[in-house]
Amino acid sequence: MRITSAVVDPALLDLPWSTPLEEWPADQLVALPQGISRHVVRFVKMNDVVYAVKETRERIAEREYDLLRALERIGFPAVEAVGIVADRSDDAGEPLETILITRHLQFSLPYRALFSHTLRPETMTRLLDALAALLVRMHLTGFFWGDCSLSNTLFRRDAGAFAAYLVDAETGQLHSKLSEGQRSEDLEIARLNIFGESLDLQAAGLLHESIDPETVVDDIVARYERLWHEITYEEKIGPDARHDIEKRIRRLNEMGFDVAEVSMSTVDGGYTVRPKVVDAGYHSRRLLRLTGLDAEENQARQLLNDLDAYRAESELRDEAQAAHRWLTEVFEPVVRAVPAHLRRKLEPQEVFSQIIQHKWLMSEKAGRDVGMAPAVQGFLNDILVHKPDEQAVLGRPVDELSEIL
């Protein structure tokens, strides 16, 4: 047996590698929702970390491992590749397929799992926006997926919205830039796969009657095209139209993208403008730099807004000093205020984000700033206690998990 791993975890050696993955004992596995797959996929939990293990051919496993590692280096939203286990054989000496190990994305679920249950219209809208944004970011990066589907895409909470993640890069290709033909082909594959899975769920009686598969795929493509156009088209403006440039940058920010620079060319007494867009992440990077907190972009934006308000109130000019005091005097006390039995409901950054929103709603109703302490208590008593444990999906039977979802 040969193990190639990016993460040194001695517990990996204790897994039953000489047994076909399909026959692994139940006490080695945890029950988590997963999409359909052409391969055998199982989840294992070691040292409080959950890993996804997939049997496939050695060449395919090595290629996917390299692609996921490359995507991780450029900060693309995808699962983390952990290792490859090759040259396996059973007790009789018969060769077994290679296994690819990835780290399960905590607090995430496949799109297929959510589509299998009742969705409110606003939830559907946020899911489709997140998926369209993932496809756009992917194509801007030069990544051709070739297998976008409800099963291969994960969603994760991001301050009330959803962030989408790529979970299977087996058919992917990373280029310096995609051609229009590659981009169109990838989008058409996504349309066919999502339409087919939606029909499958509908035939099984799992898709809500208000969801029309054809409308879903049309919406995804329309959202994608709208976002792609906003990012890539060249806009002609007048010589004194600085406000138009600012409006375009604001629209892109609202869609979840940061603008690194703006390219302007003189033409007919005016300018053509084309922004250079990078993956969203400005707020996440700033929050990490100032506080050491790793959060999704929308979460980071809310936390930074609270930090900036704290800094203004305390009249601290030094940003680093203000961040340290905010972390120790505001964020950490709020997180510690959550009782131990409720801490599996949401991750700390999401708890704080939702408490901020709850505080705003309470203040609006009262017509004044109610303060953080009443907001924390109100959120814990009225909202958090009724939420299902997001971490508690680990190890639960599938039927019980379906009830929660």
Output the CA–CA distances (angstroms, integers) from residue 105 to 19, 44, 162, 341, in the order listed: 26, 13, 14, 22
Judge if 226 and 253 occupy the same domain: no
285 is a domain residue = no
| pLDDT for the residue 397 | 47
Longest alpha-carbon distance in the chain? 79
Judge if 178 and 241 occupy the same domain: no
Q: Residue 173: CB partners within 8 Å, gap ≥ 6? A: 143, 144, 146
Other beta carbons less than 10 A from residue 186's beta carbon: 23
Judge if 206 and 119 occupy the same domain: yes
Unique residue bearing structure tokens 């409901």? 345
**Domain harbouring 68, CATH code:** 3.30.200.120
Between CA 134 and CA 163 the distance in angstroms is: 8
Q: What are phi and psi of 78, to 5 degrees?
A: -145, 165
Between CA 161 and CA 315 the distance in angstroms is: 32
- Structure-token pair, residue 372: 């953080």
Cα angle at 130 between 148 and 286, to 5 degrees?
Answer: 120
52 is a domain residue = yes
Contact 83, 66 (CB under 8 A): no
Residues in the chain: 405
153 is a domain residue = yes
DSSP bridge pairs for 264? 273
CA dihedral in degrees (14, 19, 23, 27; nearest 10)?
A: -10
Between CA 96 and CA 87 the distance in angstroms is: 7
Task: Outline where DSSP puts E strands in 26-90.
Answer: 41-46, 49-56, 80-86, 88-89
CA-based Rg of the chain, rounded to a whole angstrom?
23
Of the residues 262, 278, 294, which one is the last residue of a structural domain? 278
403 is a domain residue = no
Between CA 235 and CA 250 the distance in angstroms is: 15
- Please choose, from the candidates 238, 247, 241, 246, the residue with its C-alpha nearest in 3D space to the C-alpha of residue 266: 238
**Domain harbouring 152, CATH code:** 1.10.510
Enter the DSSP assignment of 338.
S
128 is a domain residue = yes
H or E stretch covering 177: none
Judge if 78 and 171 occupy the same domain: no
Instruction: Render each residue's pLDDT in the chain as its tens digit; 405 residues.
Output: 788 887 767 878 889 999 999 999 988 888 888 888 889 999 998 888 889 999 999 999 999 999 999 999 888 889 999 999 999 999 899 999 999 999 998 878 888 888 876 566 667 777 888 888 889 889 988 999 999 999 999 988 766 556 789 999 999 999 999 999 999 999 999 999 999 999 998 898 888 788 889 999 999 999 899 888 887 877 766 655 555 666 776 777 676 665 544 555 555 655 565 565 544 566 787 888 888 888 887 888 888 888 888 887 777 777 888 888 899 999 999 999 999 888 888 888 888 999 988 988 888 888 888 888 999 999 998 888 887 765 544 445 444 544 544
Task: Outline where DSSP puts E strands in 104-190.
Answer: 108-110, 143-144, 153-158, 161-166, 173-174
| pLDDT for the residue 268 | 63
Describe the crossing of helices 372-382 and 348-366 by its angle, rounded to 10 degrees.
110
- Structure-token pair, residue 297: 């972009």
Judge if 126 and 98 occupy the same domain: no
Judge if 26 and 87 occupy the same domain: yes
DSSP bridge pairs for 259? 277
287 is a domain residue = no
Contact 202, 115 (CB under 8 A): no
Judge if 115 and 7 occupy the same domain: no
H or E stretch covering 65: helix 58-73
| pLDDT for the residue 281 | 64
Judge if 267 and 322 occupy the same domain: no
| pLDDT for the residue 88 | 93
Judge if 374 and 354 occupy the same domain: yes
Judge if 141 and 222 occupy the same domain: yes
Judge if 16 and 90 occupy the same domain: yes
Count of domains in the chain? 4
- Domain that includes residue 324, residue range: 302-392
Contact 112, 211 (CB under 8 A): no
Of the residues 196, 211, 232, which one is the last residue of a structural domain? 232
Between CA 99 and CA 20 the distance in angstroms is: 10
Three-state SS for 221?
helix
Judge if 224 and 119 occupy the same domain: yes
Of the residues 198, 217, 232, which one is the last residue of a structural domain? 232
189 is a domain residue = yes
372 is a domain residue = yes
Cα within 13 Å of Cα(39), Cβ side: 20
